[in-house]
Amino acid sequence: MRSVGLTDLKASSVFRGFTSQRSFLLVSTKAKKPDMSSAAFMQLLKPLQEAITTISDIKDKGRKGPFDNQLSAVAESISVLAWVTVDPKPHKHVEETLSSAQYYGNRILKEYKEK
């Protein structure tokens, strides 16, 4: 039996994040916009927040390891899923998040350019 590695945890957490986002969007298309500080809204966001937090925790555990830049790139980019909490202009959040993820992506490219 194969042990579950850091990569497996990261991949399943990313999958859970996107699955949670999909569920959130399906509910939001059928409901009126709730107060963003309401308990119902927070409960709806809970699985998405847990996935993002798990990914961040995995990144922190892998700090100073051989895949620090890769883990940082995924952790930075997954926070793009939080755009649903930004009002009124979520595109700014998306742009900033992708810029941050691109920074780590460029570091990875530079690191492996000559390998």
Contact 56, 65 (CB under 8 A): no
- Global pTM reads 0.81
Q: Can you give the pLDDT of all 115 residues of the chain as single tens digits? A: 344 455 666 788 999 999 999 999 999 889 888 888 899 899 999 999 999 999 999 888 888 888 889 889 999 999 999 999 998 889 999 999 999 999 999 999 999 887 7
DSSP per position, 18-87: HHHHHHHHHHHTTSPPPPTTSHHHHHHHHHHHHHHHHHHHHHHHTTTSTTHHHHHHHHHHHGGGGGGG--
Domains and their CATH numbers in the chain: 6-112 (1.25.40.330)
Contact 21, 81 (CB under 8 A): yes
- Residue 54 has what pLDDT? 92
